[in-house]
Chain A
Amino acid sequence: MLDIIRYFIFRALRNMRQWPFLCFASVLTMAVALATVATFFLVVVNIDQLAARWTKEIQVIAYLKKAPTQNNIASLTRKLKQIPEVEAVKYVSPAVAMKRFKTHLGNDASLLEGVNKNLLPASFELGIRPEFRNQAGIATVINKLENQLEVDDLRYGQQWLERFNNFAEMLRFVSIVLGGFLLFATLFIVSNTIKLTLYARRDELEIMALVGATMRFIKIPFVLEGAIQGLLGGLLSLGFLALAFVFILNPSLESFWLTPSGFNLIFLSANQQIILVLSGVVLGVLGSLSSLRRFVRI
């Protein structure tokens, strides 16, 4: 048994050595194809992450008709915190609001001299949990707020939220469509390359069948070769991806005008890197198997 396994590995390696160009072509094709898909994945993941950053700013501000009494503030805060979509509650008294406004005005703060300290309305600033930072989530919060508070006005960046929602939706749609195309193209190119490499060796396949090799005996070394090439292709694609990340993705996304400062681009996680390399192996094996079906007939 061990002898047979050793023989299969020996034959797979010998095939690769005997046909270095074919081997190189398969490995490179798989590497480029996988790196393309992975780069696309990386761009989508990073934009998605960026988008998630923007939504951190989302909050609902409820301006109250009357400032609550000191006792009421705590109970109102507690009540608001019980809304499942709400992450954080902050009460802003008229005085605090005035102070903020003054800071905001900077040098022109003197304009506010003599103005009634309670001119500005009291408000609650509500942070929203990440999973509800969308139109539907905000709508629920607003509905609940209107039932619980005497609200004068609500601010939550409605227009911005709408636009953001459209953007996120579009991003999802484009990534599914483009990703699907890319994946399909990858499978197509890889299986055709493998088919070509097998076509160049159809004599060998034919003679093996002629001298009484069983299907399994013919196929295993080729499938093994596909797996080895897939592994090499996967590793190479990881290298390509790292290069693309450092030299293309990183600089271009960093100069992207909407990228907040301190935003770190993410590379594939360790698991995703393993998946990338393994998908090279799977691609090689499946490509070999599907092509062998056409060339090996007993």
Chain B
Amino acid sequence: MAMIQLFNVTKKYGADSAAVKDMTLQIAKGEFVYITGASGAGKTTLLRMLYSAEKPTKGQILIDRQNITRFNSRQIAFLRRKIGVVFQDFKLLQSRTVYENVAFALEAQGKKRYEVSKKVYQALKEVGLEHRLQRKPLELSGGEQQRIAIARALVVDPLILLADEPSGNLDQEVTFEIMDLFKRANARGTTVLLATHDHSLNKRFPRRVLTLEQGKLIGDQQPLAV
């Protein structure tokens, strides 16, 4: 069953500069997909369109068989509750504790307080940070901060996890730890899209690879052996 479908999607920012050109693709439920390409190839734009931070200039995007290109702001908010997003720069609130950062995602959905505390603890335990609840993000290492961000993305049990260069600022060892978290989420049924230009990831964890170049999908490789 398809979780993400793109039909002839084009995104233009100026009159003639297209970040994504006429892209058609399909990603099944539970898949793990790398999106690779040089900087400016359109990886980030593609992800932004998937969580509806951008609307395509042309074409249709379906997520979980719903056409999100026509969503209003309320529908977009509800769509995002099904999607976890992880960034290179973590996007954590520095003035809040680790606990509050993760709880934020549940509070934004209006969840009850007892429910929030239980789930936040589970999510932090999952990423191995349950002992850092009351710390502020800046007191932690980069790898730990990214794990908080991943806990925030996963605490809502998302259908899809989008990660935009999540290991861009981290060393190899930490990167592999984080990849492990993504794999575990994937094993639980979450569809994972990971934008990266780090080819070593694919070598170590071979998965389907979509290659972009100047906004075009130029390659769609299945792994040789899974």
Binding site for B on A (CB under 8 A): 3-4, 7, 18-19, 203-204, 206-215, 217, 298
- Give every chain B residue within 8 A of A210 (Cβ-Cβ): 51, 53, 80, 85, 91
Q: Does B77 contact A (CB under 8 A)?
A: yes
CA distance A18 to B136 in the complex (A): 13
Chosen A-B contacts, 10 in total, with CB atoms closer than 8 Å, are A7-B107, A203-B93, A210-B51, A211-B152, A212-B78, A212-B81, A212-B156, A214-B77, A217-B110, A298-B52
| Contact A214/B104 with A203-B93, A206-B91 known, Cβ cut-off 8 Å | no
Give the contacting residue for A3; candidates B83, B85, B112; CB below 8 A. B112
CA distance A207 to B102 in the complex (A): 11
- Give every chain B residue within 8 A of A217 (Cβ-Cβ): 77, 108, 110
CA distance A232 to B167 in the complex (A): 46
Q: Does B95 contact A (CB under 8 A)?
A: yes
Q: Does B109 contact A (CB under 8 A)?
A: yes
| Contact A298/B77 with A3-B112, A213-B108 known, Cβ cut-off 8 Å | yes
Among residues of A, the one whose C-beta sits closest to the C-beta of B95 is A18
Q: Chain B CB within 10 Å — which of A4, A203, A209, A214 has the most? A: A214
B156 CB → nearest A CB, Å = 7
CA distance A19 to B156 in the complex (A): 28
Interface string of B193-226 (1 = CB under 8 A from A): 0000000000000000000000000000000000
Question: What 10 A-B pairs come out closest when comparing CB atoms?
Answer: A213-B108, A212-B81, A212-B80, A211-B105, A298-B73, A214-B77, A211-B108, A212-B77, A298-B76, A18-B95
Among residues of B, the one whose C-beta sits closest to the C-beta of A4 is B110
Interface string of B41-63 (1 = CB under 8 A from A): 00000000001110000000000
CA distance A19 to B94 in the complex (A): 12
Q: Does B74 contact A (CB under 8 A)?
A: yes
On chain B, the number of residues with a Cβ less than 8 Å from chain A's Cβ atoms is 26
- Give every chain A residue within 8 A of B95 (Cβ-Cβ): 18-19
- Give every chain A residue within 8 A of B91 (Cβ-Cβ): 203, 206-207, 210
CB of A212 within 8 A of CB of B73, answer no
Among residues of A, the one whose C-beta sits closest to the C-beta of B101 is A207
| Contact A207/B93 with A4-B110, A213-B108 known, Cβ cut-off 8 Å | yes
CA distance A3 to B93 in the complex (A): 24
- Give every chain A residue within 8 A of B79 (Cβ-Cβ): 212
CB of B109 within 8 A of CB of A204, answer no
CA distance A7 to B73 in the complex (A): 22
CB of B156 within 8 A of CB of A211, answer yes
CB of B51 within 8 A of CB of A215, answer no
- Give every chain B residue within 8 A of A7 (Cβ-Cβ): 107
- Give every chain B residue within 8 A of A4 (Cβ-Cβ): 110
Apart from A211-B108, A217-B77: 14 A-B pairs, beta carbons within 8 A:
A209-B80, A210-B51, A211-B81, A212-B78, A212-B82, A213-B108, A214-B73, A214-B77, A215-B73, A215-B74, A217-B108, A298-B52, A298-B76, A298-B77
- Give every chain B residue within 8 A of A206 (Cβ-Cβ): 91
- Give every chain B residue within 8 A of A213 (Cβ-Cβ): 77, 108-109
CB of B104 within 8 A of CB of A208, answer yes
Among residues of A, the one whose C-beta sits closest to the C-beta of B152 is A211
Q: Which B residues, 94 to 118, have Cβ-Cβ distances below 8 Å to chain A?
A: 95, 104-105, 107-110, 112
CB of B104 within 8 A of CB of A207, answer yes
B135 CB → nearest A CB, Å = 16
